[in-house]
A = this chain, B = another copy of it.
Amino acid sequence: MRFSISVPGSLARQLDRMVAQKGYDNRSLAVADMIRAHLVEHHQQFGDKEIAGAITLLYDHHKQHVQAVLTDIQHDHHEVIIATLHVHLDHHNCMEILAVRGKAGLIKRIADELIAAKGVKHGKLTVTSTGKDLPT
């Protein structure tokens, strides 16, 4: 489907520069990707929608109990946590990436709980879709 949009000239020029820098073949492919990205984010607000995604955590495993707490939270929700990828960054720092899938509301609550745990330096929930209702 073809449709046309009107945007300020300077914005269009910046768009074209970004499209080239990111290596897209053409402007339509880039804009379609942006629309999909915003759809994914838009769908997050509906708590019951099924999403997939990643929770990224950074912590020092020497901090008292942090790992035990994170593992307990994860086992409490093992039905939505597919698997966890643990990277030993150095002697102290761990990056843990949880692949998750489930209702958006629950996933958000689990992410909040993990990120708020004492000893976690940084955490982020990255939401994508399960792909079922996202046209290519």
Whether the pair B52, A54 counts as a contact (CB closer than 8 A) is no
Q: Per a CB cutoff under 8 Å, which of B3, B86, B128 touches A122?
A: B128
Chain B residue numbers with a CB within 8 Å of A30 are 116
Q: Which residues of A contact B (CB under 8 A)?
A: 1-12, 14-15, 18, 21-25, 27-40, 42, 52-54, 56, 58-61, 63, 67-68, 71-72, 74-76, 78, 81-95, 97, 99, 101, 112-113, 115-116, 118-124, 126, 128-132, 134-136
Please give me the residue from chain B that is nearest to A133 by CB atom. B14
Chain B residue numbers with a CB within 8 Å of A134 are 58, 121-122
Copy tally for this chain in the complex stands at 4
Answer whether A99 and B87 are a contact pair too, CB < 8 Å, given A12-B3, A14-B39, A134-B58. yes
Please give me the residue from chain B that is nearest to A30 by CB atom. B116
